[in-house]
Structure formats: C-alpha cells, structure tokens
Structure 1
Amino acid sequence: MKKNYNIKGMLLLMLVVLMAAACKTEKVLPKQEALKDISGSWQVIKATRNGTDLTALVDLSQFRINFDGVGYKLMNKLPFIVTQDGAFSLDDPLYPYKITFTAAGGTPVSTAFTYPIVNGKRQLSLTFSPGCTNNAYVYVLQRVN
C-alpha cells in the first residue's frame, strides 16, 4: 500500500513539474517589416468619382505616375491631386496611411493612401478631391512591369 502512495506522489510531482514547465513564456521578437517601396511606374486600373465607376468611361491606360525615390513624374495626365511633377513623401515608411505630393513651386497636398496586395500584385489606392471638394476620386493603381 505504501508503494502505491509513493507512485501516486511521484506522478503528482511529475505532473506539477510538467505543468510549470509548460507555462514558461518565450520571448518572440517581431520580424522587421519591410519599407514600403513605391518606386517605379504605376498606371490607373480603376477610377471612381463619388462612387461612380469611371473605368469604362475614360481611357486610363496611358496615364502613368513614376516614383523615383523622392520625386514623381506625371505622364498623359488625368484629373489628379497635383498637376505638375515634383516630390512626394509618406507619413511613415513602414505603415504609410498618407502620401504628400509637392508639385514644383507648389504647396504640399496630402491624401489618404493604402498599399494592399490584391491577387498577388501590389496596388496603390489614392483618395483625393482635385479642385471641387464635392468630387471625391479614388484611383487604384498597379505597378507597370
């Protein structure tokens, strides 16, 4: 009978030790997020104005915005947040929510900015009102290879 208590005691002690070891916390370091790189040439793949899809109504295929580190160039212009080439900046290089365009000789203009991956391809989504604040445009751009 005494051996039975010793075995139960040993099992209980092992169970307590295993439970204490299982509760040990590990330090998990987060991986460093890559900087958002928008360099390259981008074209509009979808455009809306006040919720109305303009994609079928306007030829968007020729418009390009080329980002080269700190500057941008517009080609085959459409209504856009700026009308001249200039510089740009992101509010945060890791988690950007806003992009600021500064046309040559102009004042900085900021707009909402998202950078999702859709169907395996990076996209830019810009929301802005050029001129009339009653018109809100959303351009979805995709990098041109």
Structure 2
Amino acid sequence: MKYNYKAKRIYLALVAVVMLAATSCKTEKIVPGSEAPKNIAGNWRVIKATRNGTDLTSIIDFSQFRINFTDKGYSLVNKLPFLVSKDGAFTLDDPQYPYKITFTATGDKPVSTPFTYPIVNGKRQLSITFSPGCANNTYVYVLEKAN
C-alpha cells in the first residue's frame, strides 16, 4: 500500500509539472511597428553621379544642379542630364517603402525609375537610376539634402 501511495504522488507530481510547462508557454503575437511615410520634401544636390559605372562627379560640375521636392511637385534648378527636363509632379509607388519614383513633367507622360532612400553616415540620401534617351547609358545620381 505504501508503494501505491508513493507511485501516485510521483505520478501526480509529473502530471502537475507537465501541466505547468504546457500552460506557461504562451505564444505572443509580435506586431511590427508601422513605418512613417518617406518625406523627400526639400532641396537636394548631387553628391555622386555615374554613367555606366564611370564616376562623373569629378568631370562634370554638379554643384549648382538641384532638385527641389515639395509635397507632390518638383522643380529643377540649373538643369543637367536628368530623367525629365521640365518641372512637374512626382509620386512614390509606396509612401512607407518606396522602390520607384514617377516623375510627370508638365505636359509630358509619366516616367518611372528605381529609387532608394538609404541613410548613409547618419544622413538621408536619394539614389535615382535612369536612362535619358539612349538605353545604353544608365545614370545613377546619389543626392543629399542641400544646406
């Protein structure tokens, strides 16, 4: 009889441990935080430019070229080869995670191009890839907000 009593106690203790273990593991649902929409409003200058992988920054003076983005529009200052040649409107394919920017110059059809928005050395940059005319020439402009 003593043996049955001990076996029952051990059995009940094991059942209690298993029950505690089973109920103590809760699955938590992790909800990712919502990312703020990207705001590119401001005056941007070219800090690096390449054509087909060749650095143009030291060959061409980009110091006066600017793209000024407002809420939905843009204007070009001291124009250089670019995706569009006139001021107009722009849209991002996704306000939170943009991968493409579309320029619509006044009176022209919309033109879309790849777009990245990284933070480099603590500063936000824009990287725009485009081919203005000849598909054999691919330009990449890396822009940073002008002071």
Compute the TM-score of the two structures, normalised by the length of structure 1: 0.90
Structure 2 residue runs without a partner (length 5+): none
Specify the alignment match of 1:75 in structure 2: 77
Question: What SS does the corresponding residue of 2:18 show, helix, strand or coil?
Answer: helix
Specify the alignment match of 1:105 in structure 2: 107
- Equivalent residues in 2 for 1:5-44, closer than 5 Å: 5=7, 8-9=10-11, 11-44=13-46
Paired letter, 1:55: T
Deviation at 1:53, TM superposition (A): 0.9
Structure 1 residue runs without a partner (length 5+): none
Specify the alignment match of 2:135 in structure 1: 133
Deviation at 1:122, TM superposition (A): 0.9
Render the CA deviation track for 1:39-74: whole Å, top value 9, x for unaligned: 011111110000111111111121110000010010
Question: What SS does the corresponding residue of 1:13 show, helix, strand or coil?
Answer: helix
Render the CA deviation track for 1:21-55: whole Å, top value 9, x for unaligned: 34321122221111011001111111000011111
Deviation at 1:17, TM superposition (A): 2.8
Structure 1 residue ranges (4+ consecutive) displaced by more than 2 angstroms after TM superposition: 1-15
In the alignment, the residues of structure 1 paired with residue 73 and residue 7 of structure 2 have an alpha-carbon distance, to the nearest angstrom, of 79
Question: What SS does the corresponding residue of 1:72 show, helix, strand or coil?
Answer: strand
- Equivalent in 66, 69, 87 of residue 68 of structure 2: 66
Deviation at 1:9, TM superposition (A): 3.9
* Aligned Cα root-mean-square deviation (Å): 1.7
Question: What SS does the corresponding residue of 1:88 show, helix, strand or coil?
Answer: strand
Paired letter, 2:37: L
In the alignment, the residues of structure 2 paired with residue 21 and residue 144 of structure 1 have an alpha-carbon distance, to the nearest angstrom, of 57
Deviation at 1:6, TM superposition (A): 6.0
Larger radius of gyration: 2
* 91-100 vs 1-10, greater mean Cα deviation: 1-10
* 128-137 vs 1-10, greater mean Cα deviation: 1-10
Question: What SS does the corresponding residue of 1:18 show, helix, strand or coil?
Answer: helix
